[in-house]
Amino acid sequence: MDTLSPGTKLGRYEIRSKIGEGGMGEVYLAEDAGLDRKVAIKVLSESLLADEQAKSRLVREARAAARLDHPNICSIYEVSEDDGRSFIVMQYVEGETVDVRMKRKPLDLSECLSISSQLADALAEAHAHGIIHRDIKPSNILITPRGKVKVLDFGLAKIVSRRVAVDTEAETAMLLTETGVVLGTAPYMSPEQLRAEQLDGRSDIFSYGVVLYEIMSGRRPFEARSLAELTSAILMRDPPPLQSHSGVVPMGFEALILKCLEKEPSRRYQTMFELSVDLDRLCRDCESGNISASMKEAPTVRMDSAVSKPLRSWLLPGRRAVVGFVVLVILTLALLGYMRFFRHPTNNAQSTNKYESSPAYDAYLRARVNLKSENPAQIENAIALLKQATSLDPNFAPGWAELARASNIKSFYFSGSDAEKKQLNEDAAVDVEKALSLDPNLAEGHFARGIILWTHANHFPHEAVIQSYRRALDLDPNFDEAHHQLGVVYFHIGLLDKGLAELEKATSINPSNTMARFRFGVIDMYRGKYEDAYTIFKSTPLTSNPSLWAFQCATALWRMGRPEEATQLLDDYLQKYPKDEGGVGTSVKAMMLAKAGKNREAESAIQRSIEIGRGFGHFHHTAYNIASAYALMNQTGLAIKWLQDAADDGFPCYPLFANDT
């Protein structure tokens, strides 16, 4: 293939410079004259297009990959041909690939976990659309200056259907013989890929495990001096223990990586969703400090120098054996406690920057980490930390605002008695007014005021809540969670387009706002787009809110005409979470029983959902499901009563009512 010189035209694109090459082709920086933007163009190697059948398949699969729309996937704009050259036009993203980044300096632990999480999100999205990458490796993972991961080369991915791929033997041979591909690709290939067997998403999961091992340790799990020896190692040998290379390995991560690296696909994680559930749980354990760490004396995973200097001063010869391990554990836990905060930094920092010198700031940051996960233990941790923060500095306005929000979350989702709810709500109201009296221009304060207003006890005053969120956004337009919650209010009252617009802003500002991304699927549900909704739900695990995930997924499956799968999902959920917060899972079961003509069982499920759900913050969704169940049983009076209850209690989503016939 002849290298293209600057100024060469490919359609409306003008080549500026060559920026990379490999066995698949050469990559150029180019200018899109029509849209006045930079693009990356991969001119495909002639060997990939040896015959018309191979060429048409490659173009078809690249076009399928172009439909992927995810913040961690490098977008494909066009697949085209000019003067006999076939090429793929892609988003141009500034940054450096992971392999280059690791050569420059070792990755620290928070970077490793950020990369692993974002890469998992990208693969889950692709697999949900029936596309496998087949070439996951550090040189295909780019990190932007802001720390966002972009997975490259999806234009050469493979469409799979029911775990069947085609022409695998020829493609593997090509990958192992093209110039520059052997050393760059073979170490990341799965055993079945090397054996030229049929591939599915589990092959990507193996490659994902190789990448995780390498970024954690700085070494590949399978190393050899020749391709034959490397192939033998991947097919036959177990990787060395991660601790033999790495200095700091949070407990549980090695088990996750080794499960990815199982030789037999049936023994690996079966889906990226399954893997993501475990990954998210481990990250939450890290952020809460509920982890142990495996360590060795000279860490490969870099710890920040600010903590390594005091460590050296403690480890004097006479004390090393006594305190060395203890201090390392303390420092590791401190690092991991901040890990998720730095991995997913919130974008509403401008109104709290002036408080960074406060003695309360440390406890405040740790509390915010706990508040990211809506589970009872971490909410209690957050409340304790925020009380500590406001005790250390009574004038620390952000601490009072977050304490109000934490009390609201506990009242809304987890508290038991009405008396406890009332006390928590009163405390929250006092705390938010304290915050705003100290700092009237605190975006977090106006946001917290909106949060605590939007409750059953306050009769869900939508207009006042919208005003509070808008005030917060006037003060800080990049406050992603304010955009998210404003979107939630909008779609609850039936303003679906406005809700969608706010969710798009939230995820644009913070692509790691998983809950906001999940709620794109909720809006699709309300519009009757059940398959689109289910695709989003599958690719967005919510381990911190399993009731919401199970409720929406089961409802989508049922609406799609897959009641057996919906029933199995609900049964699994109710067995694992018998408390069924809000009774929402049980209410979905009531709808399904009513549809099946099992009226007596449906009535029993309705009463059970009322018994366990009353007092829950989002009981209006349970009420709507009860109305639907009664409608299916032709009990019109009760259906109208419960529908009115849902609307009066914060859920007047009339477009949903109209669509759901």
Asked if 610 and 583 touch (Cβ cutoff 8 Å), the reply is yes
Residues 32, 135, 153, 476: which is the catalytic one? 135
Rounded Cα distance between 490 and 28, Å, is: 44
Residues 556-583 have a mean pLDDT of 88
**Domain assignment of residue 314, yes or no:** no
**CA of residue 555 relative to chain centroid, distance:** 22
Task: Tell me which of 51, 75, 91 is where a domain ends.
Answer: 91
Sheet strands (E) in 171-295? 248-250, 293-295
| Residue 198's pLDDT band (cuts 50, 70, 90) | confident
pLDDT tens by residue, 113-123: 889 999 999 99
Asked if 194 and 122 touch (Cβ cutoff 8 Å), the reply is no
Domain count, the chain: 3
Decide which of 617 and 220 is more confident: 220
- Sorted by sequence, the CB contacts under 8 Å of residue 93 that are 6+ apart come out as 40, 74, 142, 144, 150
The whole-chain average pLDDT of the chain stands at 80
Judged by DSSP in three states, 342 sits in helix
Decide which of 409 and 339 is more confident: 409
* CATH code for the domain of 186: 1.10.510.10
- Sorted by sequence, the CB contacts under 8 Å of residue 73 that are 6+ apart come out as 122, 125, 126, 150, 151, 154
**Domain assignment of residue 557, yes or no:** yes
Poorest-confidence range of 26-30, 80-84, 139-143?
Answer: 80-84
The pLDDT value recorded for residue 318 is 36
The pLDDT value recorded for residue 641 is 92
Show the domain range for 517.
Answer: 430-659
Residue 425: burial class (beta carbons within 10 Å; 0-12, 13-18, 19+): buried
pLDDT tens by residue, 320-362: 333 343 333 333 333 343 333 333 334 444 555 678 778 888 8
Phi/psi of residue 165, nearest 5 degrees: -125, 170
Task: Tell me which of 67, 91, 115 is where a domain ends.
Answer: 91
**Domain assignment of residue 361, yes or no:** no
* CATH code for the domain of 40: 3.30.200.20
Rounded Cα distance between 404 and 337, Å, is: 22
| Residue 69's pLDDT band (cuts 50, 70, 90) | confident
Domain identity same for 237 and 171 = yes
Domain identity same for 123 and 211 = yes
Residue 253 has pLDDT above 80, yes or no: yes
Residues 587-614 have a mean pLDDT of 92
The pLDDT value recorded for residue 341 is 33
Domain identity same for 102 and 69 = no
Percent of the chain that is helix, strand, coil (3-state, to 5): 60, 10, 30
- Sorted by sequence, the CB contacts under 8 Å of residue 202 that are 6+ apart come out as 190, 265, 268, 269, 270
Looking at residue 71, its amino acid is P
**Domain assignment of residue 144, yes or no:** yes
The pLDDT value recorded for residue 400 is 95
pTM exceeds cut of 0.85: no
Looking at residue 371, its amino acid is L
Asked if 570 and 550 touch (Cβ cutoff 8 Å), the reply is yes
The pLDDT value recorded for residue 157 is 62
Check the CA dihedral 548-552-558-562 and report its sign.
negative
Task: Tell me which of 61, 91, 121 is where a domain ends.
Answer: 91
Asked if 113 and 286 touch (Cβ cutoff 8 Å), the reply is yes
- The pair of structure tokens assigned to 376 is 């009872």
**C-alpha separations of 393 from 353, 355, 360, 448 in Å:** 16, 10, 6, 19
Q: Is 532 a catalytic residue?
A: no
Smallest CA-to-CA distance from 38 within 49, 23, 28, 46 is with 28
Domain identity same for 137 and 30 = no
Asked if 312 and 475 touch (Cβ cutoff 8 Å), the reply is no
The pLDDT value recorded for residue 164 is 39
Rounded Cα distance between 208 and 221, Å, is: 12
Other C-beta atoms closer than 10 Å to the C-beta of 308 total 12
Domain identity same for 28 and 162 = no
Residues 358-367 have a mean pLDDT of 86
- Taking CB atoms within 8 Å and a gap of at least 24, the contacts of 435-439 are 435/397, 435/398, 435/399, 435/400, 435/401, 435/404, 436/397, 436/401, 438/395, 438/396, 438/397, 438/400, 439/351, 439/397
The pLDDT value recorded for residue 346 is 42
The pLDDT value recorded for residue 374 is 60
Helices (H) and strands (E) in the chain, counts: 29, 13
Domain identity same for 596 and 501 = yes
The pLDDT value recorded for residue 1 is 58
* CATH code for the domain of 497: 1.25.40.10
pLDDT tens by residue, 376-388: 778 888 899 999 9
Domain identity same for 506 and 446 = yes
Other C-beta atoms closer than 10 Å to the C-beta of 632 total 19
Looking at residue 83, its amino acid is D
Q: Max Cα separation, the chain? A: 81
Sheet strands (E) in 128-224? 131-132, 141-143, 149-151, 158-159
**Domain assignment of residue 608, yes or no:** yes
Domain identity same for 74 and 130 = no
**Domain assignment of residue 492, yes or no:** yes
Domain identity same for 537 and 603 = yes
Domain identity same for 53 and 113 = no
What torsion do the CA atoms of 496, 497, 500, 502 make, to the nearest 10 degrees? -110
Domain identity same for 204 and 262 = yes
Instruction: Provide the β-strand partners of residue 149.
Output: 143
Rounded Cα distance between 625 and 547, Å, is: 14
| Residue 607's pLDDT band (cuts 50, 70, 90) | very high
**Domain assignment of residue 414, yes or no:** no
Domain identity same for 468 and 559 = yes
Poorest-confidence range of 350-354, 476-480, 539-543?
Answer: 350-354
- Sorted by sequence, the CB contacts under 8 Å of residue 617 that are 6+ apart come out as 411, 412, 413, 455, 456, 582
**Degrees, nearest 5: CA angle 616-622-625:** 175
pLDDT tens by residue, 257-300: 999 999 999 999 999 888 988 888 887 776 665 554 443 333 33
Asked if 101 and 47 touch (Cβ cutoff 8 Å), the reply is no
What torsion do the CA atoms of 208, 213, 214, 220 make, to the nearest 10 degrees? -100
Smallest CA-to-CA distance from 27 within 35, 39, 37 is with 39
